[in-house]
């Protein structure tokens, strides 16, 4: 299967429209902080012929495939092996002080979901890995087999919003004492058996929330995003725009908080005239979070949970 066939970029037209006023400028630089298989990047390079793209990804396999896809654009595309909270260091290294656009497409890439051996999907048996960069960090199996019970409960509650966390963790601890976890099928089966009947009837696969929690923990996703969003806003020049696609409420909440804070005056209450240093730095481009259309979800089921938010930089830092 080719890269193009297996990767349908989510809310592509809307992302391009949001970024277009900033990327139409001559010599504009845009950063795709989550390059993946390069679908959004390819569209930006095609639609805006003067744009220079910097693409970041922590997954070496994704970088290689995206590199093949974007090769025809030559030196207009610079691809970097980096996690997106390393954006300031990458821009400094490349000698790029500010950029016109930033795109985040968060969550797991199509390639990571489609390749069973990566262990992201709960629908088939695979090694419990879940690392986006398999050259570093602890795997999901190590988390399951070594974390104290209280820490596992915290992770499932905080990152998976799993109401049955204590029940699931009790079963995990009992099982890991008999034999360490290595594959996803055993974990999925254990979760099914641990949950009460009522909990199995709602919200799709009962393992979904546990797998999400493990993935976020293994890759430090929320901590990385907390650092990356303010850095991305700071990297925008005035008139520059940011678009962020998130796929669960924890990500979307963080995005909403950062963009809303930038779009709010920081002046003490009661000032008759608000000085420049207290004025908002951002203007929100979306009313709340925008959702994919029914047609798009019908074509690409992975678009279903997507939430898109955008903002424009309207002032320098005080």
What value does the CA radius of gyration of the chain take, rounded to a whole number of Å? 21
**247 in Cβ contact with 306 (< 8 Å):** yes
CA distance 278 to 7: 43
Residue 181 has, within 13 A of its CA and on its CB side, a CA count of: 31
- Bridge partners, residue 246, by sequence: 307
DSSP state of 81: E
**40 in Cβ contact with 15 (< 8 Å):** yes
CA distances to 62, 132, 141, 146, 316 from 111, in Å? 7, 11, 20, 28, 38
Apex 98 CA angle, 97 and 102, nearest 5:
135
Q: Residues with Cβ < 8 Å from 180, sequence gap 6 or more? A: 141, 145
Binding residues: 38-40, 57, 84, 105, 112
Binding residues for S-adenosyl-L-methionine: 38-40, 57, 84, 105, 112
DSSP state of 303: G
Would you say the C-alpha torsion 89, 93, 94, 96 has a positive or negative sign?
A: positive
């Amino acid at each position: 299967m080719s890269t193009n066939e297996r990767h349908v970029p989510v809310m592509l037209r809307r992302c391009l429209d949001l970024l277009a006023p900033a990327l139409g400028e001559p010599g504009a630089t845009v950063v795709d902080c989550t390059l993946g298989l390069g679908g959004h990047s390819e569209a930006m390079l095609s639609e805006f012929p003067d744009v220079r793209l910097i693409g970041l990804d922590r997954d070496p396999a994704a970088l290689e495939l995206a590199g093949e896809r974007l090769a025809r654009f030559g030196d207009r595309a610079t691809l970097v092996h980096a996690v997106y909270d390393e954006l300031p260091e990458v821009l400094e290294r490349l000698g790029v002080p500010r950029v016109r656009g930033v795109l985040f497409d968060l969550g797991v890439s199509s390639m990571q979901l489609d390749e069973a051996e990566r262990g992201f999907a709960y629908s088939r048996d695979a090694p419990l890995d879940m690392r986006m960069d398999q050259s570093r960090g602890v795997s999901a199996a190590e988390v399951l087999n070594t974390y104290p019970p209280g820490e596992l409960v915290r992770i499932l509650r905080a990152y998976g919003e799993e109401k049955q966390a204590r029940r699931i963790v009790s079963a995990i601890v009992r099982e890991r004492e008999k034999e360490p976890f290595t594959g996803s099928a055993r974990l999925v089966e254990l979760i099914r058996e641990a949950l009460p009947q009522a909990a199995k009837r709602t919200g799709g696969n009962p393992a979904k929330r546990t797998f999400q929690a493990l993935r976020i923990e293994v890759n430090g996703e929320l901590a990385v995003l907390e650092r990356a969003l303010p850095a991305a806003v700071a990297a925008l020049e005035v008139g520059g725009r940011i678009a962020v696609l998130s796929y669960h409420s924890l990500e979307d909440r963080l995005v909403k908080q950062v963009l809303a804070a930038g779009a709010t005056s920081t002046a003490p209450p009661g000032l008759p005239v608000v000085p420049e240093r207290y004025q908002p730095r951002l203007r929100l481009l979306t009313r709340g979070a925008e959702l994919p259309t029914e047609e798009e979800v019908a074509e690409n089921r992975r678009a279903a949970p997507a939430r898109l938010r955008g903002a424009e930089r309207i002032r320098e830092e005080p």
